[in-house]
Amino acid sequence: EPEVTQTPSHQVTQMGQEVILRCVPISNHLYFYWYRQILGQKVEFLVSFYNNEISEKSEIFDDQFSVERPDGSNFTLKIRSTKLEDSAMYFCASSHRGGGYEQYFGPGTRLTVT
Amino acid sequence: GQQVMQIPQYQHVQEGEDFTTYCNSSTTLSNIQWYKQRPGGHPVFLIQLVKSGEVKKQKRLTFQFGEAKKNSSLHITATQTTDVGTYFCAGPDNYGQNFVFGPGTRLSVLP
């Protein structure tokens, strides 16, 4: 069964450093998403991406964040200058359609900012 | 903005007991989805409800969408230890493109 993959599984970085989180969505999916989940809390939407551009973003997704689909398979989330409060689990998800179609989540990248 | 609430926040049940979690939205939803997240895992899609008053069943799980399409429930009959996890409801945002997740209900099942 196809699945979303994410690398790395755990990333430790120092405050102020840039990090890139990588995702490989399911191959025939067209909509891609990033979510974050601070430990023990709810899943928070960051951004959605369709047709090579951002379609929606939340208030959390400020100028420090960017997303890219550099090739036909990878989908990346970059945090330019990490802050302590960026420590969280970051999930990538993809779906075949937008507008509420079921989303398939990757296993997540745990980001720890020290 | 849209708010999605869930109650209870936590539920501890004895194996074999039933469990229900309730989801309420501040706005009418075009559809609602339920996800399950096992401890240390990622959200896994369970079901989507679209129609007013819709009821769907998956083995021991029963999902309902309210008549006003602002609330939903998930009921598990005769819980098992494999049901342990956090159950999230999620509804589309005001633009209908992305989902706002509820805070989740964490279910513990005691053997």
Report, as an integer, the average pLDDT of B93-111. Answer: 84
CA B96/CA A102 separation, integer angstroms: 13
Tell me what percent of the residues of chain B surpass a pLDDT of 70: 95
- Taking an 8 Å cut-off on Cβ atoms, the answer to whether B101 and A98 are in contact is no
Report, as an integer, the average pLDDT of B72-101. Answer: 89
Report, as an integer, the average pLDDT of B72-76. Answer: 98
Give one DSSP letter per residue of A47-92, joined into a string: EEEETTEEEEE-TT--TTEEEE--SSS-EEEEESS--GGG-EEEEE
Angstroms from B104 CA to nearest CA on chain A? 7
- Taking an 8 Å cut-off on Cβ atoms, the answer to whether A45 and B45 are in contact is no
Angstroms from A12 CA to nearest CA on chain B? 18
Q: List the end-to-end C-alpha distance of chain B, in Å, as a whole number.
A: 41
More confident of the two residues A102 and B8: B8
Give pLDDT, residue B16.
Answer: 98
- Mean confidence (pLDDT) of chain B: 93
Residue of A nearest to B47 (CA): A102
For B105, the token pair is 């209900």
Which of chain A's residues have a Cβ under 8 Å away from the Cβ of B35? 43, 105
Can you tell me which residue has the tokens 């993959």? Answer: A5
Angstroms from B82 CA to nearest CA on chain A? 19
> Residue B78, by phi and psi: left (phi above 0), alpha (psi -120 to 50) or beta?
left
Q: Is the pLDDT of residue B96 over 70?
A: no
Name the residue among B30, B42, B45 with its Cβ closest to that of A91: B42
What are residue A34's DSSP bridge partners?
A: A47, A92
| pLDDT single digits (tens) B10-38 | 999 999 999 999 999 998 988 999 999 99
- Taking an 8 Å cut-off on Cβ atoms, the answer to whether A42 and B99 are in contact is no
Confidence of residue B97 (pLDDT cuts 50, 70, 90): low
Which of chain B's residues have a Cβ under 8 Å away from the Cβ of A91? 42-43
CA B47/CA B58 separation, integer angstroms: 9
B interface test, pick of A9, A26, A30, A43 with most B CB neighbours within 10 Å: A43
Name the residue among A98, A100, A105 with its Cβ closest to that of B43: A105
CA A48 to chain centre: 9
Per-residue pLDDT of chain A (114 residues; tens, 9 = 90+): 789 999 999 999 999 999 999 999 999 899 999 999 999 898 999 999 999 999 889 889 999 999 999 887 899 999 999 999 999 999 999 998 876 678 999 999 999 999
